């Protein structure tokens, strides 16, 4: 990796040391534009745009075809620059990521963290306790398709699941061993087994404890993490209604479902 960095260091400096060059590159992503159009769209001084365009042409990131368009190299770079900027925006949100344990998020999904850029961090306050959880429940009750990863248990979950089952929602959850043992308790077992028998609910057991919890539906994502000391953060929720965020969360669900075993009524 050190050798690669040395090889591309000049290009990194070229693209990141000038906001104008980066903005011009991104402006041309949507199609052919002249200097005036780039200047207006990017809110840049026309002389700065002309200077940046010449530099980008020299590096063969853009080419003049009676208006400026990205070269193949420029198109690849523009998309990666946009994702890089979106990733920086995502990880800077309210210090959410730095405060929490993230090792149970697969590397490929950490690499696509920019897909969560249109998210909101919701924190409980002294005057709004359980703010994030109550928003989650209200949204969940209206859902038709539910996929979730459960490493925590709340007494209200079973009743919400029963109501969703009566509405014939499509529900799947991956659960951790500790949650499995909790659900095997007599009180919980009596409520869940009939849902499994009617195939109104599908449960999958992951083989180890995992320090994250989330639900993704056709409309929203609710995502929570643990602190680095192992305690669950029940006061902070990442929420998103953005399609890319839902795709990201569905990929995370698919990852854990693929390494889990299905549970039948007999398992309880």
Task: Give me the CATH number covering residue 16.
Answer: 1.10.10.10
Mean pLDDT by 10 residues, the chain (268 residues): 76 87 94 95 94 95 95 94 93 91 98 97 79 86 96 89 94 97 86 91 97 97 96 95 98 98 94
16/133 same-domain check: no
Can you count the helices (H) and strands (E) in the chain?
Answer: 12, 10
104/197 same-domain check: yes
68/158 same-domain check: no
100/67 same-domain check: no
User: Residue 12 has which token pair?
Assistant: 């990194």
Distance separating alpha carbons of residues 124 and 140, to the nearest angstrom: 19
137/31 same-domain check: no
192/221 same-domain check: yes
Q: What is the pLDDT of residue 62?
A: 96
164/140 same-domain check: yes
Q: For the domain that residue 134 is a member of, what is the CATH number?
A: 3.30.870.10
Distance separating alpha carbons of residues 193 and 183, to the nearest angstrom: 10
Q: What is the pLDDT of residue 140?
A: 92
51/153 same-domain check: no
180/51 same-domain check: no
Which of 88, 108, 142 finishes a domain? Answer: 88
User: Look-up: residue for tokens 């420029």?
Assistant: 74
150/246 same-domain check: yes
131/156 same-domain check: yes
What's the domain range around 47?
2-88
Q: What is the pLDDT of residue 255?
A: 98
Which of 88, 123, 151 finishes a domain? Answer: 88
222/257 same-domain check: yes
Q: How far is CA 9 from CA 14, 54, 72, 267, in A?
A: 9, 20, 20, 56
Q: What is the pLDDT of residue 12?
A: 82
Domains in the chain: how many in total? 2
Q: What is the pLDDT of residue 2?
A: 67
Which of 48, 66, 88 finishes a domain? Answer: 88
* Beta bridge partners of residue 63, listed in sequence order: 69
Q: What is the model's pTM?
A: 0.89
Distance separating alpha carbons of residues 258 and 9, to the nearest angstrom: 39
- Name the strand (E) or helix (H) holding 139: helix 131-140
């Amino acid at each position: 990796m050190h050798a690669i960095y040395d090889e591309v260091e000049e290009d990194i400096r070229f693209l990141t040391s000038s906001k104008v060059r980066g903005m011009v590159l991104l402006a041309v992503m949507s199609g052919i534009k002249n200097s005036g159009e780039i200047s207006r769209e990017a809110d840049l001084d026309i002389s700065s745009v002309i200077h940046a365009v010449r530099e980008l042409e020299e590096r063969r990131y853009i080419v003049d075809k009676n208006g400026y368009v990205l070269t193949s190299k420029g198109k690849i770079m523009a998309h990666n620059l946009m994702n890089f900027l979106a990733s920086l925006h995502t990880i800077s949100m309210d210090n959410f990521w730095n405060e929490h344990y993230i090792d149970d998020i697969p590397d490929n999904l950490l690499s696509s963290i920019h897909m969560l850029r249109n998210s909101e961090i919701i924190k409980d306050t002294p005057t709004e306790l359980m703010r994030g959880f109550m928003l989650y429940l209200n949204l969940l009750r209206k859902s038709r398709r539910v996929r979730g990863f459960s490493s925590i248990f709340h007494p209200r979950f079973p009743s919400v699941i029963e109501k969703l089952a009566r509405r014939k929602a499509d529900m799947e959850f991956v659960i951790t061993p500790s949650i499995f043992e909790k659900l095997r308790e007599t009180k919980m077992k009596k409520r869940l087994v009939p849902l499994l028998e009617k195939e109104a609910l599908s449960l999958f057991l992951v083989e180890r404890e995992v320090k994250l919890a989330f639900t993704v539906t056709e409309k929203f994502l609710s995502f929570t993490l643990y602190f680095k000391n192992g305690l669950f953060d029940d006061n902070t929720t990442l929420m998103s209604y953005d399609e890319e965020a839902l795709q990201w969360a569905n990929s995370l669900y698919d990852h854990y479902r693929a390494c889990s075993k299905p549970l039948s009524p007999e398992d309880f």
